[in-house]
Structure 1
Amino acid sequence: MSDHAEAPILQLSGIAKHYGTVRALQGAALTVHRNEVVALVGDNGAGKSTMIKVISGVIQPDAGRIAVDGEPTTFANPLAPRRHGIETVYQDLALAPDLDPAANLFLGREVLRGGLLGRLGMLDKPRMRAEADAAFSRLGVGLQDTRSEVGTMSGGQRQGIAVARAVLWASRLVLMDEPTAALGVVQTSRVRALIESVREQGVSVLLVSHNLPFVFEVADRIEVLRLGRRVAVYSRAEATAERVLGAMTGAVETMPEP
């Protein structure tokens, strides 16, 4: 876990987003330091989905500040966070089911062969497969047949492929949206191992999850959203179910947002 001596790799402050009369975010904030796992939690309607979309560049906030390594920036579209080394693993994984794992890892970032063949649009499939296999090996993603279509694989395997794709391209942060949704106990355990492997690669993780027992196991810090605002931040040592649930529901006194 980071000692927080340097600027956060990602910091959002005063983030506001309105949809007509609905205030999805009201001066919300979020902080992620280098080499840590941060969980963003909150009840339905707290603003988590909107915050994810802001960070991934899907929507732009009406107000607020985004900084990467202390430098102000904007995420005007989904390509902008990628340029800062931020990748997102969406809840639906966004994989192409009729392609193999290597093709999914390089989807939209295909490697062309050298020379004339490359100019003609020929893909360097052996290189992409080798790099994909290396990424799977680093993360401990076990695939029996890397040439099979992703659509034939289990939920846990597809999750591993989606995470490997994000880690292959991320240099700062991987955002994981509900990574254990619809997974069983064994597959959830594998996701836990994946998150640890991501951190070992020197990449931070922002985890959005309703699965509080899982959050307590993997997160270094927990940030709580309620009614569009960050209302509490707990370290792993401070976090208890009573505190986190109390902050989520407003049953306990929480921090004022600066």
Structure 2
Amino acid sequence: MTAPFLVARNIAKRFGALTALANVDLEVRSGEVLALLGDNGAGKSTFIKILAGAHPPSEGEIIIEGSPVAFSSPKDAAASGIATIFQELALSENLSIAENVFLGRELKRSILGIPFLKRREMRQRVDGLLQELDAHISDPEAPVGSLSGGQRQAVAICRALNLNAKLVIMDEPTAALAVAETRKVLALTRRLAARGCAVVLISHNISEVFEVADRIVVFRRGRKVAERLAAETNHEEVVSLITGAHPDVRALEKTN
């Protein structure tokens, strides 16, 4: 087994007197989909915000490719290869697909001291990413506002890959999508892992998780209470872990 891309050790997060996370240990490996499950308020969102650089941990450390890191902003996390695709996609509807993918990182050339965008090169790069992901989008110049929900997820993934992301965090990527669009996004998720990326998926849809996840981690009341290989568990056990009915969770919560 290869070394993990990211290791989180003893992660805790407190907001005043409220403990949102306590003693979370987790490994994320390249080429796998790791699903984080749990009820609202279980600590999943706080944990990914720490990984994304939006919140510093109150305790614990994050190690990436063997080296400890400390993020003071999402920009720091991005520089370490972490991209987060939140449920509310930060895409500009009036801009083209290519412009969104390169937003803030446009390729430029200078003629007589005047900067010009390398539009053809950007289009070719985006077209290559779309084809690699089998996203079924033929025109990188199409405005994002004309795309379906699943296609917009593909654009957000392309932007992450264009930032050389090695870990992509996907927060409820299929929320509010129709069945056909959901299928496309789940396929994109697997293709990301097949490409060698580490993928962390947050979802409330357990059936979808079993379609794409290699490992499942359950959060409950700010703690990691279980970790299972997806192939070695089932829907019923995961539900019992989330609700606290599982004997392992009851025993853990008695000690805490």
Which amino acid in 1 is paired with 2:103?
L
Question: Where do residues 168-187 of structure 1 align in structure 2 (5 Å cutoff)?
Answer: 168-187=162-181
Q: Which residue of 1 aligns with 2:137?
A: 143
- Counterparts of 1:173 and 1:37 in 2: how far apart (Å)? 10
- Counterparts of 2:105 and 2:184 in 1: how far apart (Å)? 27
Which amino acid in 1 is paired with 2:111?
L
**Which ranges in structure 1 are unaligned for 5 or more consecutive residues?**
none
Identity of aligned residues (%): 44
Note the C-alpha offset of 1:37: 0.7
Q: Which residue of 2 aligns with 1:153?
A: 147
Larger deviation: 14-23 or 204-213? 14-23
Q: Do 2:92 and 2:144's aligned partners in 1 also have CA atoms closer than 8 Å?
A: yes
Which amino acid in 2 is paired with 1:26?
A
- Write out per-residue CA displacement over residues 54-108 of structure 1, whole angstroms, 9 at most, x where no aligned residue: 0110111111110112221112211112112121111111111110000010111
- Counterparts of 1:51 and 1:151 in 2: how far apart (Å)? 31
Note the C-alpha offset of 1:195: 1.2
Question: Equivalent of 1:245, from 223, 226, 239?
Answer: 239
Q: Do 2:77 and 2:83's aligned partners in 1 also have CA atoms closer than 8 Å?
A: yes
Note the C-alpha offset of 1:129: 0.8
Q: Do 1:29 and 1:229's aligned partners in 2 also have CA atoms closer than 8 Å?
A: no
Which amino acid in 1 is paired with 2:218?
V
Question: Equivalent of 2:64, from 63, 68, 80?
Answer: 68
Q: Do 1:38 and 1:205's aligned partners in 2 also have CA atoms closer than 8 Å?
A: yes
Q: Do 2:98 and 2:122's aligned partners in 1 also have CA atoms closer than 8 Å?
A: yes
Which amino acid in 2 is paired with 1:150?
V
Note the C-alpha offset of 1:201: 1.4
SS of 1:121 mapped into structure 2: strand
Note the C-alpha offset of 1:28: 1.8
Question: Equivalent of 2:8, from 7, 12, 15?
Answer: 12
Q: Which residue of 1 aligns with 2:29?
A: 33
Note the C-alpha offset of 1:171: 4.3
Which amino acid in 2 is paired with 1:147?
E
Note the C-alpha offset of 1:200: 2.1
Question: Equivalent of 2:205, from 202, 211, 219?
Answer: 211
Which amino acid in 1 is paired with 2:237?
R
RMSD over equivalenced CA pairs, Å? 1.6
Q: How many residues align?
A: 251
Which amino acid in 1 is paired with 2:227?
V
Q: Which residue of 2 aligns with 1:107?
A: 103
**Which ranges in structure 2 are unaligned for 5 or more consecutive residues?**
none
- Counterparts of 2:80 and 2:153 in 1: how far apart (Å)? 23
Q: Which residue of 2 aligns with 1:53?
A: 49
SS of 2:232 mapped into structure 1: coil
Q: Do 1:11 and 1:30's aligned partners in 2 also have CA atoms closer than 8 Å?
A: yes
SS of 2:248 mapped into structure 1: coil
Question: Equivalent of 2:74, from 70, 73, 78?
Answer: 78
Which amino acid in 2 is paired with 1:68?
I
- Write out per-residue CA displacement over residues 25-60 of structure 1, whole angstroms, 9 at most, x where no aligned residue: 111222111211100111111011111110110111
Which amino acid in 2 is paired with 1:231?
V
Q: Do 1:216 and 1:239's aligned partners in 2 also have CA atoms closer than 8 Å?
A: no
Q: Which residue of 2 aligns with 1:233?
A: 227
Q: Do 1:222 and 1:239's aligned partners in 2 also have CA atoms closer than 8 Å?
A: no
- Counterparts of 1:29 and 1:43 in 2: how far apart (Å)? 19
Q: Which residue of 1 aligns with 2:40?
A: 44
SS of 2:34 mapped into structure 1: strand
Larger deviation: 139-148 or 186-195? 139-148
Q: Which residue of 2 aligns with 1:88?
A: 84
Q: Do 1:223 and 1:234's aligned partners in 2 also have CA atoms closer than 8 Å?
A: yes
Q: Do 2:102 and 2:162's aligned partners in 1 also have CA atoms closer than 8 Å?
A: no
SS of 1:254 mapped into structure 2: helix
1:190 aligns with 2:184: yes
TM-score, normalised with respect to structure 1: 0.92
- Counterparts of 1:129 and 1:16 in 2: how far apart (Å)? 43
